[in-house]
Chain A
């Protein structure tokens, strides 16, 4: 009888497994067909000299070239290493290292994580030391500046969105009609397509008919052509993006806020905590997981910025708003260089993964 029971149990297990697979299979199929396979194919293409149009008409027109596409992007001629080739970036690495050490000294970072961070920063400093020496040049002199623009864009947009949407969510987390109306209002921009958003902001920034220009003229000033002005073009794109993207982050924060037990907030009130103290000691610590989620989602989303730069500034002036996805797009579909474009896309995937991993590590460390 015991044997029978064991057999039944085993069959139940098998059946459960089977049922699980039946439910999982559609997802696995879609995941493999639309994510894993295209990704692997992208890596494969990146190892070839692959002209999009030529290969379409003659599948044999591609050549396997190993890592040459990556070399073409990352490297140059007469490359030399100097300790302080890029003082700003390397200085930032030193500051980050000092910050990690300080966090370790205050007991907020474990020994193993500190070492991981220091090694990563040392590696970064080493990479930043490489540059073409005298008479040398990058094989693709636009690639690293484009990466820099993209990172700069993310570094501007993600904290701004996180902060603004967190403050908005905190302010609107109440059951009044006014708050409900404002919540809807702030979320509305999120439902617009990038084309509409860029059209609206192009009109806002236009030096001729734009809202900003009219306000400036009212006060006797000379309006700026934001989208053609160096230094302002990127700011214009950042502003448009923040306006467009705060909605979803605000909704996530609202959900997080509603998960905070009411008793904690009431206890804080009884202890005579003012609203700033309540925010700092009750709301923020309880929202850490949501903040991590929002930041990682935003990093992944905004590294893929394309429409705003493509439609508002066409990457200009002088490539100041050229971003990676636009460069990938142009390389693949304007120049037909699918191999190099795929190599860039793989690189983009790697840096998005690294930034997300760092953020994940930091938040995990905080929780512990």
Chain B
């Protein structure tokens, strides 16, 4: 008998975490949603054969990392140079307002901080495993994640204070 939990439960429990990881890695747009979708399709396909002792969240985060790399490669292949730069990105399929500002701030972090925040802080992978995935030493990964989160908190504390003052 299979003792795996119903897949629907895995989505309920881990769908938001995987979306945070995808957004931190790929930005808050369509690429992150593509990576989320491909992650859960691949996970559903493999689900019946998964060892019941697996840490499901960590496993999903690792699948999401592979799918994020696929999406990045596909985007690079299909990128065509153009003189017509769009005025601003579409808001379709994007978080709005304050949320979008947050994800833009994440996107603006130095890359190592951003990936450390994605996989270690948001995805919950141990800093040793995160270091294997993104390169570098484990203690440096832990520091990069902490620095990234601190600068996001600082940026948003300032923004909230400003917003409060202007009310």
A and B interact: no
Q: Which residues from chain A sit less than 8 Å from chain B, CB to CB?
A: none
